[in-house]
Copies of this chain bind each other. A is one copy, B any other.
Amino acid sequence: MTLVDNENVKDIKIGFIGGGSRYWAQDFMCDLAKANNISGKVYLYDIDKHAAKCNETIGNGIRNHYENADNFDYIAVDTYEEALSGADAVVISILPGTFDEMEVDVHAAEEYGIVQSVGDTTGIGGIIRALRTLPMFFEFGEQIKKYCPDAFVINYTNPMALCTGALYKVFPEIKCFGCCHEVFSSQSLLKKILEEKLGLTDIKREDIKINVIGVNHFTWITEAYYHNIDLFPLYREYCLEHIEKGVPITYEITELNKHFVHNEKVKMDLFLRFGFMAAAGDRHLAEFCPRSWYLKDKETVENYGFALTPVSWRKSHLVERLEKRDRLLSGEEIFEMKETGEEGVRQLSALFGLDDFVTNVNLPNMGQIPNLPLGAIVETNARFSAGSVRPVFAGNIPKELKALIDKTVDIQELIMEAAYERDLDKAFIAFISEEQNTLDLKQSRELFDKMIEGTKEYLKDYFK
């Protein structure tokens, strides 16, 4: 950056770590192309340079099809230095390892009767994924400290809380926040209920005002209003009506979405039980609760109406994504401008002084949740404005939810230490402390060893 003529910021430099991303990068490019008051250059860095090159081509091609979409240039680079030196903002979105490692994360425990719906954030799979991911983030943090200590940094990678925390661990002054759109779907559900029950129309998701509290993917809404309408009594009514059959699925179930389907029964069950609205998708929520509640076995999962996402699907879907990429590169297919539902570009604009708004985001706890440990990465509302993102006071975790959320945070802190010290014994203590792990001590050891063995390609540091 960054000159301003009062309403525009130009010459912005963005470094993109994981710039070869096959999923999320295109959404980000789309949002950048639509943001007409900012312009600059995006430097794509990826260990898979070819993938970054492809995104360079795709990104630079957008302008050919859309008016005023030439505000950002894309450049694939070879080094952190090129990507980060003097960057105003950094975006991190990587896949740690390959889907082969993810297969171990998610499916190795099935032999012991343990099923996982996502396996990338918490539970048995989340721990193993964290072990290989965190050392990468320690490295990213060091590079950012070296090349662009003042840059704003957005992390999109899971396990969100731990990855974001890893950056702060090695560089406490980093200006990083973690973005996740899971909470938005709860606002959308409330909007839908308002429309159905009160016949209101033209409601915007953002106008559902909520207080957000928790850790990523186990976030909770403790207060929800539309203007002066308290939405919790309405939601309770709705839950009582739909807890048996779940929220009707109104969209077509396809090969693409069938492994992500859920009918909000877990979310509604949690509300009826605890009195607060869980704010992520059911597949995520289930993994933070005791195994016996929603993930006891496949039958229980089915009764609660949510899908398990097999990694085999991810693998076959990847093939499709690569084919699509080839079509984009060859010009056979045209880059699609769409509503991404992501807020990262708006957040950056606000930080550059062009907007001022409040949304939910992952940040170190500075006191926004007084009864969680300082420094733990928590998700609450925060104000984005010129020069800073600052959390809004969210209040205490309600006593009803405290045991589950504390356990999550505590295990995260232990995994962080295990990864930082490359100490698999500590990691094993985390592994046996997890709610999803109901194996006895002997079986736990066995499974842990298998999973480490199965992902060791990315755990070399731990064996030095």
Which residues in A have some Cβ–Cβ distance to B below 8 Å? 1-2, 4, 6-7, 9, 200, 209, 211, 223, 225-230, 269, 273-274, 290-293, 296, 300, 352-354, 356, 358, 366-368, 370-371, 373, 381, 383, 385-388, 390-395, 399-400, 402-404, 406-407, 410-411, 413-414, 417, 426, 429, 432-433, 437-441
Q: Closest Cβ of chain B: how far from A90's Cβ, in Å?
A: 17
Docked CA distance A313–B274 (Å): 39
CB neighbours (8 Å) of A225 from chain B are 353, 385-387
CB neighbours (8 Å) of A413 from chain B are 399, 402
Q: Is the CB of B9 within 8 A of A228?
A: yes
Q: Is the CB of A226 within 8 A of B386?
A: yes
> What is the copy number of this chain in the assembly?
4
Q: Is the CB of B353 within 8 A of A227?
A: yes
Which of B292, B400, B403 makes the CB contact (< 8 A) with A439?
Answer: B292
CB-CB under 8 A for A227 and B386, given A290-B433, A367-B368: yes
Which of B200, B358, B439, B441 makes the CB contact (< 8 A) with A385?
Answer: B358
CB neighbours (8 Å) of A385 from chain B are 209, 225, 358
Q: Is the CB of B353 within 8 A of A356?
A: no
Q: Closest Cβ of chain B: how far from A236's Cβ, in Å?
A: 14
Which of B211, B394, B414 makes the CB contact (< 8 A) with A403?
Answer: B414
Instruction: Identify which of A274, A407, A439 gathers the most chain B CB atoms within 10 Å of its CB.
Output: A407
Q: Closest Cβ of chain B: how far from A448's Cβ, in Å?
A: 13
CB neighbours (8 Å) of A414 from chain B are 399-400, 402-403
CB neighbours (8 Å) of A230 from chain B are 387
30 contacting pairs across A/B (C-beta < 8 A): A4-B227, A4-B229, A9-B227, A209-B356, A209-B386, A226-B353, A226-B386, A227-B354, A227-B386, A228-B353, A228-B386, A292-B437, A293-B441, A356-B358, A366-B370, A366-B395, A368-B393, A381-B390, A390-B392, A390-B394, A391-B392, A391-B393, A400-B414, A400-B426, A402-B410, A402-B414, A403-B406, A403-B410, A403-B414, A404-B433
Taking CB as reference atom, which chain B residue is nearest A386?
B225
Q: Is the CB of B228 within 8 A of A4?
A: yes
Q: Closest Cβ of chain B: how far from A362's Cβ, in Å?
A: 14
A-B interface, 4 closest residue pairs, ranked by CB to CB distance from nearest: A367-B367, A227-B353, A225-B386, A228-B353
Taking CB as reference atom, which chain B residue is nearest A230?
B387
Q: Closest Cβ of chain B: how far from A35's Cβ, in Å?
A: 14
Q: Is the CB of B440 within 8 A of A293?
A: yes
Taking CB as reference atom, which chain B residue is nearest A389?
B393
Docked CA distance A433–B441 (Å): 21
Docked CA distance A390–B211 (Å): 10
Q: Closest Cβ of chain B: how far from A397's Cβ, in Å?
A: 9
CB neighbours (8 Å) of A393 from chain B are 366-368, 390-393
CB neighbours (8 Å) of A381 from chain B are 383, 390
Q: Closest Cβ of chain B: how far from A40's Cβ, in Å?
A: 13
Q: Is the CB of B228 within 8 A of A352?
A: yes
Q: Is the CB of A403 within 8 A of B438?
A: no
Which of B392, B400, B417 makes the CB contact (< 8 A) with A383?
Answer: B392
Q: Closest Cβ of chain B: how far from A124's Cβ, in Å?
A: 13
CB neighbours (8 Å) of A353 from chain B are 209, 225-229
Docked CA distance A209–B227 (Å): 26
Taking CB as reference atom, which chain B residue is nearest A291?
B438
CB neighbours (8 Å) of A386 from chain B are 209, 225-228
CB neighbours (8 Å) of A229 from chain B are 4, 353
CB neighbours (8 Å) of A433 from chain B are 290, 403-404
Q: Closest Cβ of chain B: how far from A360's Cβ, in Å?
A: 13
CB neighbours (8 Å) of A269 from chain B are 441
CB neighbours (8 Å) of A200 from chain B are 6
Which of B228, B300, B370, B399 makes the CB contact (< 8 A) with A440?
Answer: B300
Q: Is the CB of B440 within 8 A of A296?
A: yes
Docked CA distance A266–B394 (Å): 37
Taking CB as reference atom, which chain B residue is nearest A408?
B403
